[in-house]
Structure 1
């Protein structure tokens, strides 16, 4: 494991989660959330970000998947914020416009230390298999809030709900991969303020 890694543990009355993120990994995933579609999305996120990610989540999925998905987002956001450290030398910004079959999405982010989340899209069906489509927004909002980053998700066009969700996970992985990458010309923190 690299120095830019973090392990987050979160236990509530609704979920018990342990998550480990290595920003300088190779795309290895070990994901078990009890939510099949969500596992698949996190595996794609890991592969396209070239992160190493381990998630073990036990939640009240007998109620629904909301708490498990949101709390995993909280943990991932906290892990990003912790693993990136003082942000010296990072690129800071990242964006990716990504095609996924008939779908085209953009994810743009700034590891600014300030939270903002904009989601400019609608997923056309309420469910993706058995997964609630609303949980895509719930997850990314939780990640952005806890990573203290700006995150903008834009759907340019698309009709298939699975493709839209998958596009956002892949595009955000690629955008984050760029943002956390070390720029050899960047000395110190990439901000005129001198701190992020």
Structure 2
């Protein structure tokens, strides 16, 4: 087995709890936070997690960067179709005032004891780039993103002294 293959096997078996960022570094608001607070976070982040309160940290939803379009557009510019009526009410002009009004409630989650391979498989299956890491009580424990997984893989490759060449082979790094 080559160096890259060994690194990948190590990478796949890593536990998410060992590589997830700390809660204080994550973009989190409470369900009753004003939309303005959400927008301030989304200026520099691609998502914001919504929790019930800062003590319990029960995951309620997520607001993604692209959701800002629905928030800022007037309701008449939002196509309302059967099953998607709620998008109309996600607009500030449609009455949305707080994070709970605009969040997506169906959040892709994964357990903190899951592996990198589990996370990659789930991301691919559901076509998402970020997963909330929760415990059995749906308490937000962390997050794992495709970007974080790429960073971790590259870190692992550097630590292993392997340079991944475009041809797919590996050689010791200089």
Confirm or deny a common fold (TM above 0.5): no
- Structure label with greater radius of gyration: 2
Higher relative strand content:
1
So what's the TM-score if we normalise by structure 2?
Answer: 0.24
Give me the TM-score of the superposition, normalised by structure 1: 0.22
